Every structure is written in C-alpha cells, then in structure tokens.
Chains A and B, each alone.
Chain A
Amino acid sequence: MTDQLRVITRRMVEHPADSHTLARYEATGGYRQARRALDMGRDELVELVKESGLLGRGGAAFPAGLKWSFLAPARPAYLVVNADESEPGTFKDRQLLERDPHQLVEGMIIAAVANEVHHAFVYVRGEYPKPARRLQRAVDEAYTAGYLGEGIFGSDYDLEVTVHLGAGAYICGEETALINSLEGRRGEPRLKPPYFPAAKGLYMMPTIVNNVETVSNLPHILEMGPEAYKALGHEADTGSFLFSVSGHVNRPGNYELPHGLTWRELIYDVAGGIRDGNELKTWIPGGASAPWFVPSDHLDLPITKDATAKAGSMLGSGAVVVMDDTTCVVRAAERIVRFFAHESCGQCTPCREGTTWLEMILRRIESGAGREVDVDLLLEVGGNISVGLAWPPRMTTICPLGPSAVSPIISITKYFKDEVLAHIHGNGCPLRGAQR
C-alpha cells in the first residue's frame, strides 16, 4: 500500500471534527504564512512560487509562478479562485472548500499580495451550497479577525473577498467564461487572444485565475520553502496532487499523492482494486475530457504529466474514472458526449452542432440502429471539431470543450472497435443484462 502525502489534506485528516474552523486552523499554524507574505511583496513571492514549480491544478497544469509573472501592469488587478469544479469525476476542490476553507483563504491572501490584488473572488459551482457556506463562514471569520478587509493583519494592505455562487454550467469553469459570468454576462468563453485574463480579465483588468487546489498549496510552499515542496513531488510534477478516484473501484475517494506511481499502483493498491472481483476494462486518467487508457497499454505507465501526454491523454484535474468489464463503452461514451453537448455554451458551430450530432449517432448505435458507416462518421464528425483527432487537440473551436467531446470517440473506436461494431451488427448492446 502506497503512503499518501499529508500536505493540503493533513488538517482535515488529523482533525476531522473541526478542521474548517478558524480556531483549529490557527492552532495548527494557520495564517502565519499570510503575515509573512505581506513582508515579502510581489517580486519575491512570484520568484518563490516559480521556484516551487507549482503547476495549476485546474486542468491545464500551467506553471502558477509564470502565470503570475504575466500579470499586466494596469491596476486594479483581480484574483479569481476557480471553484467551479464541474468536470465529471472531479471532487477534490469540494473537499478543500468544506474541510479546510481557511487554507484557501490564506492562500488567497498570499496570491493577492503577490499580484497586488485588493479584491479577490471565489467562483463556487452552483451545486456546491455546503462548500460555499463553509467558505463564506471562513471568510466572515477572517474578516472579523482582521485578516481580510481594511488593513489586514494590522498592515496597510486592504483585501476584500467575495464568494460568488454560479448557476450550474460546466463551461463557467473555463476561466474566461467564468469571468463573463462573474460580470453578469452569458457564461461564454472569450477569445484568447486578446482576452487572456492576465492581460484583460475581469472588467477588462489584469486578472489571475487559479484553481482552489493551486491556491491551497501556497501556504505550504511558503512554510516549507520551494525546495522542500519540490522534493515532495516527482521531477517536473512538484508537490503533492489530489487524485479523485471514482467508478468501479473498491475504495473510491480523494487521495493526496506524489506523481510517479504507476496506474496499477493507484488503481489496485491505493483504490483497492476493482469491485466484485471484476476485470478492469478501461479508465479515464484525467477527467471526462481526457482520452481513455486501457490495461493492455497503460497499466504500468508512471503517472506523470509527461508520460500521460506522451501516451495521448492528460492528468487534467486529477479525476480518475475507472470502468470494469460490465461497462458498455458505447453507453459510457454517449453519456460523456451528452454531458459535453449539454454543457456547450453554443458559440462555436463545430461544438454546438458537432457534439450533439456525435451524441445522436452514439445513441443510435447504442439503441441498435447503428450503421456500418457510423464508425467512420463518428471519426469524421469528431475530426471536424478536433482536426486530425490529434492529442493535444487541434481545435476548430474557441475553447477546449468541443474537442473534449471527441476524446471518448477516439477511445472507443481505437480500443473497442469490435464492441462498437457488435452493437451495430447485433442490433444493440452485447452486454445488455450484464450492465449495471
């Protein structure tokens, strides 16, 4: 059994009853790093985070320090913490919000100081009322304690924090759609360029958008120093990483781990193996957007950003969705594609029309009305959303949502073509009955 790390999950594991309170947070060393950050200033903090190698945990794994260094000089600048967490299979931010909200608040103070921000926002997914309540409570406590508001910690630094609840759209997790939504506009991604948030973000001012987990790491980076933080991780993948393991495993859940284990270790050791003694059929290594892995090719690959990319997928937001041999892959793919079709903002022709078309074809195949040509059609329609079905996708769209819907198409036609054809030839699902 592989040991889990206890960095951003330490407090919640050691003090499950009250890890979310200010008292417990301070009793376990909380808010010391925020005070230190005030004495450090932008340059030193940006440098420190760069040295730590901290990668964004929202899915794109973009180096946080580098992002901060891109912040345009205009002021006011804003910080937006992305707590929209809507990628199917991802549920790590929820735990951080519910169980250790002060850790996030402290991280926000650090990020705010580092980016000369005096107003920060947290955009919480609409279906997360409890995490939002917990966070709001923590923010209120921090205000009362003088850690937020005017002159935080007795300094002359002002910092306002606003917690905003979304209204239930996955696309609002995409940072520019999130910004639109925060401004009260339709949640549609903006064009990049020119609307890179660090240049022209919220209210067209320079804005840093970071994921909850990314920000929650900051107090620890300050506390242990960049070198120690790096050492926790594996080569380029520094620090710890929260994996949300779900699906047909015996012990689904969030696991804080270093990179570098193999998938076999993660699925069989950490998550306790496949339920009911079934066989592992396939798994999604990094959220619904990611192309799938299969035991024959990928079980012994190390879990690192680079190895996963080389194998044609990504770790994304750390959501590992495991499927056993009772799973109908056509149905699984249809479910994922339907999700993306439903969540498309509808701006781009290929995403709006293409994802729905893919969903229709898959549904037809699943229901037994598939045609031989549909396999090629799936790939060609997919290819018109994501050119050449390449990885990373060559997008014909504004944001990666459209191409995300193509990932399961690529996966099932590559690894499970026979099963797809069996649906077509056998007028429906060959697993019908075995399915859960």
Chain B
Amino acid sequence: MSDHVTVTIDGRKLEVPAGELLIEAAQEHGTYIPRFCWHPRMKPVGMCRMCLVELETPRGPAIVTACTTPVSDGMVVHTRNETVQRMQEGVLEFLLINHPLDCPVCDRGGECPLQDHVMAYGPGESRFVEEKRHFEKPIPISELVLLDRERCILCARCTRFSEEISGDPLIEFTDRGNGVHIATFPDLPFSSYFSGNTVQICPVGALTATAYRFRARPWDLEAVESTCMHCTAGDRINLQASHNEVVRILGVDVEPTNQGWLSDRCRFGFQYVGSPDRLTVPLIRDAEQGHTEVTWSEALDLAATRIGEVLAGSGGQSVAVLGGARLTNEDAYALSKFARVVLGTNHVDAQMDDGLDPQFLAATVDRALISDLDSAKAILVWGPDLKEEHPTLYLRVRRAAQELGAALVVVHPRRTGLDDRATHKLTYRPGEGADLLTELVAGSGRASQARQALAEGPVVGLVGRTGYGEDPRLAEAVAAFVRTLPDARILPLARRANIYGALDMGLAPTLLPGRVSVGGEGARSIAEAWGGLAEHPGLDTRGILEAAAAGDIEVLFLVGADPLRDVPDGALARRALERVPFVVAIDQFLTDSSRLADVVFCADGFAEKEGTVTNLEGRVQKVNRIVPGPGQTRPDWSILDDLARRLGVELGFGSAEAISKEIADVAPAYRGVTWDRLDWEERDGIVVPDGGEAPLRFVPADTPGTRAGGDLVLHLARVMYDDGVTVRHSPSLAGLAPGAAVHLHPDDAARLGLASAETARVVTEQGEATLPIRLDDTLHRGVVYVPFNQPGMPPLGPGPAVTVTPA
C-alpha cells in the first residue's frame, strides 16, 4: 500500500496513512501521547513539548515532538520509555512551577487537561521552592471572556484559533522568556464573535467565560448532545445543566457541520432558557386588566370557543398562522396538520417575510453539503454576510479559502467578514443585482475576473438574500447561474433556527410535509392520512399581514413569532395585529407582539424538549432535553392536540416520538428517519434527499429588480447581536448589539450635507427613524445600510427607496 507506511510504536508494528502526524497515528491505534498545544483542527506549533517521544534513527536515538512529526516508513517510536517518561515529568514539573494551583476555585478543575496529565504522567512532587510568577488575577479581555495569566500554560491554542480559524487575531503573546503572556491590544478588546471557542479549547482555566464562571463544578453537570438552533447550520453541541438549569454549551467536533466550533451567540445564547422573564402560565387578556394568569383549561376553552365561532362563520380562509421556525420538526408537523386539518387554512408561513420562495429553500436540487466546501475549487457567496448570519458556515468557508485553496467570490453591498479571504469581492446597490449578475454570467465588465475564478469545478454556491432591500427573486437567478458552473452545488441560505425543518413540515402556504406541493399529486395521500386538507390558495407572511390589516383575518396564531420586531415592515405588522379580532400566541416570552394577543400559551423551548431539526443541507438531527420547562409550560404539539380536541378533531398525537413516526410515514422525504437511528448509529444526522415534489430547477428569472426610484437604496440586514428574544434575554449577549445606526459612504454623506452631522433622518415608504450616522467606506456608493432590529429602533421597513436628510 503506497499510501500507507509501517511504523513501530512501542514495539507494535502498525500500518498508518502516510504523512499523518505521529500523534494522530498513535492515537488511532490506541496509544495516547500526552499533549497541550496540539489541536486536531489547527496547525501544530510544537510549543508545549508535552508530546516528546524518542525515535530510533540510523544516527542514534532522536527526540522529536509527535505533534510536528509526520510518520514515515520504518519509523520506530518509543512513547513510554525511560527517556520519554523523564521528559514528560520534566515538562509537567516546568509547567507547574509557575502554575497557581488554585484548582479548587478554577472552573477547569475536574476537567482540566493539566490536572489529568499531571496525574497520569507527572512527577509526584515539585522541587521548586522559589516565588511563583505573578500577574493580576483575572482580567476581562472582552464582555464575555476573562483571562487569568497565572494559569496560562502558553499553548497558543487561543492565539492560533483567532488567527487561523476565526480570522480576528485580537489576542497575541507579548513579552518574552519567562515574561511571555497573552494580551489583547491596547484599546482593542477580544471582541470576536467566536471568542468562546478559546475558552473551550484552553487546556487550563486561563480563559473563562462570564456566562459559566463559578456556576458549576464539572462533576455536578448533567450533559446531553444536541443541535444548536440559533442558526441553520445544525451545529452539534453538548448541552450541560446543573440543578435543572442550563449552564453551559460546548461545541462537539463533528466533521459534517461545525468541527467543534460555535459562535458566541450559540455558545452563550442559552441563558434565555432560564430567564426569569419566561412565561410559566397561560394568560388571557381582557380590555381593562391586560393579561391575567389562568389555568390551561380556561385558556384552551376560550381559544376553542372563539376559533370555533370564526370557523363556523367565515371559515379557515380568515384564520392564519405565523411562525414555527423555532419549533422542532415534530412540533412544526403538528402545527402544519393543525392548520390544514383543524383550522382549514393554508395561510401558514414560518418565514416571517424573509422573502425567499419556500421551494427555493426546501426543494433545491443539487443541494450542497457543508463538507462540499472542503473540496470546492471555487466558492461563490452571494447572500448575507455569513459572519453575521451563519457564523460556523463562515468559519468553514474561511478555512476553504485560507487553508484548502478554494477561490472565493463574495458579492454583497458592503464589507463582509470574508472579504479578507476573498479572491474577488464585488459590491453593488440592492436592486441592481440583476445587472451585476448579467455581467457575471457574461464574464464581462467588473465581474470578468470573478467569472474566471468560478470556471473550475467543483463549485459551491451559497445563495441567499443580502438584505431586505434585495429583490428575493435575485437569489433564484443567482442560483440558476451557479447551476451552469462546472460540478456545481448550491446551499440556499436562510437563517432562522429550524426554518428548513419548518418548511419541510409544510409551514409555508405552498407546501405540505415532505415538500409536497399544496394542490399537487402527493397532497392526495396526505389528505387521506390526515382526513382532510385546506384547499384554498394560501397567503405568505406579507399576504397574511396585508389581509389582516385590511380586516380579512379574524384569528391569527403567532407561534414563537414576534412580527412587530421580526418582519421587515414592522409598521404593517402593527396595523395587522391591531386589526385582528383574536390573536393566539404560543410563546416562551411576552414579546411586543404577544403582548397584543388575547390568549397566550406558554410553551417548552429549546433544551426542554426532544425532537428533530433539519439544517440547511437537509440534515436531520436530534435536539434533546436536559431541563424541564419552567412552571406549567407544555410542548407545542400537546397544546395543539388539546385545542384540536376542543374543536372536535382528534389529531392523534401521543408523544413527540410518535409524531416523528407519523412524519416518516406521511412526508416522503423523511422516510426512514427515526429517533432511534439518530440517537445511535446516525448521531451526525441523516441527510434527507434533496428536491421535492416540484423541485425548483431554476429557470433564470427575467431580470428581477425592483429599482428604487431615488439615488439612495436601503440595505437593511441582520447582524449577529440584535434585539431578538434570545439575545435580549441572555444577559451575557444583551449588551453586545451594536445599536441602531445609519451607515453612509463618506462620499454620500458629504453629498447629503451630512459629513459632520451626528444623526440623520431616515425615511422609507414604510417608516422613519432618526439614527446616529456611521461613515462606512466599504459601502457601495448610494447604499444606505441599517442593521435590522437593533435595541430602541423604530420599525423602518425594508425600503428599498430611502431618503436621508439632516435630522
């Protein structure tokens, strides 16, 4: 075997892949070589010297670090002989002479590689009698992370992570010799979206997270593996709780998705789960007293009565359901069935006016896997700033461009996190994307070089909406172009939690479970299984809100949905909610929207229920329960089941797992997906087949492009930290939102007489706001950028036409 070599490790002859590092090869065959600085996802630095081993060479024994030495044929290695043991004891003694040994008050105590290595490989005692090195005890290096330099063993994992992986090298070594320590730069905190990863990979308690410090001891923790629901990447996490409270989330290193990494939003955004603001009992609203607490029966009875009246009167056409992207597949399926069968409506939409065609998101053929990025020759990102909306995907693309040699083309109206790794970056005005696309297709104009970069396959296209000012059909046209490229695969991008699962379960006006089209061939068997289906054409979020504002919707369900803050046109949402006579909310918090609801059901949320979710590849994975919901919360499916019964329909839901079996029976794409497989042999998930009943094959749309009339267009886009419920109710993150602002290109600001102004009046067709001005020369000229849903910001609406005047 030419790709394998024979090595002898501690007397055992082994066949190992050529070129592999000794430390890995040994481990694969059961020989653990101790290490601190080596990390399988980063380049070796050989600094800690813990992995020293001895080789037999023709020139006598040689000492090498196993983490930097590739195996070669005939290599003879000793990992535990006397010399090696002495060196291991030596390194550990050296590391301990300046270690504070404050293990009893260290978060790492009990799960500390340094402790463990000292136990396994260390000398019994220290011979050091001098004074230890001292540093000021923990210093905050960001809002989220503290650094204790006395505990640091200088392994460079944190510095390498921020340089090699996340691309924001904000921590570095400083000084030299015995004085070397980790430091941030003056006036520059370690404000990385990914800082928590350094806490996880720090082999000692030198880096600790404010969210976890002193909250638990490792031996008190319960843990379960689950899937992160903050974005749609489906990152594997280890969910940890102590005394029925979620206290920590760690990334799990799995190849298909996050490779161990998490964004800080995923990592620290669990705090909302245990928030004191959680809803714990059902509420009903009355005109005088506002919301009052009631029993489940009272709330359910009231809702059933009012809904029953409406259904008997104007029928399902006047009932609508918004939300569902935060649900598990099982709950989403229950909601879908409830809407179609009990409410008799197709006005169902989980997308909250994010605007992309549900067929595009759910039923794209030639859908890429995240891991396809690793073998891509070229990657096109035309969509949101991945760093803001798809953080772990951002890391993967970054790695592909930086380490694996993929050409990277990024198209966005302004700077994105990937720009420093992009081989080609194109900016444009929202609304003029079609012109740029035409150039890209033709390989002409300013897109000619970018076109060339995409000439060699395999190509992966990550395609979505760059912002709310963008014509949603542009993404389909871009995807159509990607399909013409060699060996191309596509990842359609949407950001909401389990949106892909929700769409696959039919939480879209045009879809039924399993990507069956409403009114299509497959609908018949679903109707049979369900004993009925709504027939009328459904409205999407925008349609529902417009109908509601016009008085055509009489009952509106908000399922984990806060349209007032969460749809681009907040003013429309307000008109709608104020007009609908009866609003039912199923939620975990009283939001601006559920505050207007007549009945509020409190629901179990993330970490409180078991189920499955589907990520942007179509990968179905388990989420698991580690804590009970607070107070009287219940799973969504069971609330709906009860409500249905009161409305005279037996949905027949016995448990979430029973629903999962029903999904496998009813939804064609989900055949064979069972909890059992996901819990055992398919822990990394099952990728359901791509396409659907009416797979979108992307005929290029005729030049889409709502052009803004004036010379300015609005680019309204999401950033990682906003005023959404999960961030707002996670104290560690709440303060990190950048704040409302209008970003202008300096030239535009000058032209508008705003060069030295501090605030400006921003007016769109849908709303207006006075906002602080930020000058941003990465903007395409004529583009006005406003981050969406920042604390204290009035609804501005998506534009795209906008005027900016002195305030």
Where the two chains meet, the residues of A that have a C-beta atom closer than 8 Å to any C-beta of B are 169, 171, 186, 191, 193, 341-350, 352-357, 360-361, 364, 373, 377, 380, 383-385, 387-388, 394-398
Contact = CB atoms under 8 A, between A and B. Distances in A.
A346 B45 CA distance: 13
Interface in B71-103: 83, 86-87, 89-91, 93-95, 97-98
A349 B176 contact: no
Given A387-B83, A396-B63, A398-B46, A350 B91 contact: yes
Given A353-B97, A357-B130, A377-B127, A346 B91 contact: no
13 contacts: A191-B68, A341-B178, A343-B177, A345-B177, A346-B154, A346-B176, A348-B47, A352-B178, A353-B94, A353-B97, A355-B178, A395-B63, A396-B52
B128 interface: yes
A343 to B, nearest CB: 7
Contacts of A396: 49, 52, 63, 87, 90-91
Interface of B: 44-50, 52, 61, 63, 68, 83, 86-87, 89-91, 93-95, 97-98, 127-128, 130, 153-154, 172-173, 175-180
B49 A345 contact: no
Contacts of A169: 176
Contacts of A355: 177-178
A360 B130 contact: yes
A347 B47 CA distance: 5
Nearest to A356: B178
A186 B63 contact: no
Nearest to B174: A186
B70 to A, nearest CB: 9
Contacts of A342: 177
Given A352-B154, A384-B91, A396-B52, 16 more contacts: A186-B173, A191-B45, A341-B178, A347-B154, A349-B94, A352-B94, A352-B178, A352-B180, A353-B95, A355-B178, A357-B128, A383-B86, A384-B86, A384-B90, A387-B63, A398-B47
> Which 6 A-B pairs give the minimum distances between C-beta atoms?
A384-B90, A346-B180, A353-B94, A344-B177, A356-B178, A360-B130
Nearest to B43: A191
Contacts of A186: 172-173
A357 B180 CA distance: 15
A384 B94 contact: yes
A346 B178 contact: yes
B46 A394 contact: no
A299 to B, nearest CB: 31
Nearest to B176: A346
Contacts of B44: 191
B123 to A, nearest CB: 10
Nearest to A342: B177
A345 B156 CA distance: 14
A352 B176 CA distance: 9
Contacts of B87: 384, 387, 396
Nearest to A357: B97
Contacts of B90: 350, 354, 383-385, 396
Contacts of A356: 177-178
Nearest to B127: A377
B130 A364 contact: yes
B48 A349 contact: yes
Contacts of B128: 357
A344 B176 contact: yes
B49 A350 contact: yes
Nearest to A341: B177
Contacts of A341: 177-178
A193 B48 CA distance: 17
A288 B117 CA distance: 35
Nearest to A371: B129
A394 B177 contact: no
Nearest to B61: A394
A344 B45 CA distance: 16
A355 B172 CA distance: 23
A396 B98 CA distance: 19
B130 A384 contact: no
Contacts of B47: 347-349, 398
B616 to A, nearest CB: 36
Contact of B177 (A346, A349, A361, A397): A346
Given A342-B177, A344-B176, A355-B177, A349 B63 contact: no
Nearest to A384: B90
B553 to A, nearest CB: 63
Nearest to A388: B83
Contact of B49 (A343, A346, A348): A348
A172 to B, nearest CB: 11
A159 to B, nearest CB: 32
A323 to B, nearest CB: 25
Given A348-B47, A348-B49, A387-B87, A353 B178 contact: yes
A364 to B, nearest CB: 7
A388 B50 CA distance: 18
A353 B95 CA distance: 7
A373 B129 CA distance: 12
B91 A345 contact: no
Contacts of B97: 353, 357
Nearest to A395: B63
Contacts of A394: 61, 63
Contacts of A360: 130
A383 B172 CA distance: 31
A169 B176 CA distance: 9
Contacts of A380: 127
Given A353-B94, A396-B49, A397-B49, A346 B63 contact: no
A346 B179 contact: yes
A388 B172 CA distance: 34
A350 B177 CA distance: 11
A352 to B, nearest CB: 6
B85 to A, nearest CB: 12
A385 B177 CA distance: 14
B200 to A, nearest CB: 22
Contacts of B45: 191, 347
Contacts of A377: 127
A343 B83 CA distance: 27
A349 B91 contact: yes
Contacts of A348: 47, 49
A424 to B, nearest CB: 14
Nearest to B47: A347
Contacts of A361: 130
Contacts of A383: 86, 90
Contacts of B48: 349
A271 B127 CA distance: 44
Contacts of A357: 94, 97, 128, 130
A343 B175 CA distance: 10
B497 to A, nearest CB: 41
A177 to B, nearest CB: 11
A65 B579 CA distance: 89
